Amino acid sequence: MRHFEVSLAEFAFIRNWPWLPGAGPHSAVDLGRLETLCLSNVPFDGSSPMLKCGSLRSLMLQPIGSGLSADRVLSILSCNTQLEHVTLVLPSLASAILPMNSLTLSKLRTFVCFGNTWLIQLIQSLTLPILNALAIEVETHESLEDT
């Protein structure tokens, strides 16, 4: 398998799908040379072997709900150093739990990310030496006390 995409047009609340992107880190999964992975509005386990296969060239992640932390996203990226195109839609990204190490993605040409202010933790950890296209949108919410 070289390309894998699962997308729902609209947000749907689905719990515990026992499927490939939901497989735990110790699942025996042979992904061959998976190059493109797109998971949009579907549940997945951030430690799934599918996200850490090492052969990805293109990655698009738009998880359902919360639970994905900045360090988990960095871990996914660090397992896929051949990435050329990354799109992350992370409106519910959580703060890093573990320390954020620096990561150089020497082949990344396109980086698109949308998310909350915790996205800044992730971006500050990245070095992207040959980047050609960049789009970043950070959503901030003012505190009710400030209005």
Share of the chain above pLDDT 70, in %: 76
Q: Please report the DSSP string for 104-135 in residue order.
A: E-TT--EEEEEE-TTHHHHHHTEE-TT--EEE
100-107 long-range contacts (CB < 8 A, ≥24 apart) are 100/70, 100/71, 100/74, 100/124, 100/125, 101/74, 101/125, 102/126, 102/127, 103/74, 103/77, 103/78, 103/127, 104/128, 104/129, 105/77, 105/81, 106/81, 106/130, 107/57, 107/81, 107/82, 107/83
Confidence of residue 81 (pLDDT cuts 50, 70, 90): very high
Q: What is the mean pLDDT of residues 1-17?
A: 68
Mean pLDDT score of the chain: 84
Confidence of residue 138 (pLDDT cuts 50, 70, 90): very high
Kindly tell me the sign of the dihedral angle through the C-alpha atoms of 73, 74, 76, 82. positive
pLDDT, tens only, 36-62: 999 888 777 788 888 888 899 999 999
pLDDT, tens only, 84-112: 999 999 998 999 999 999 999 999 999 99
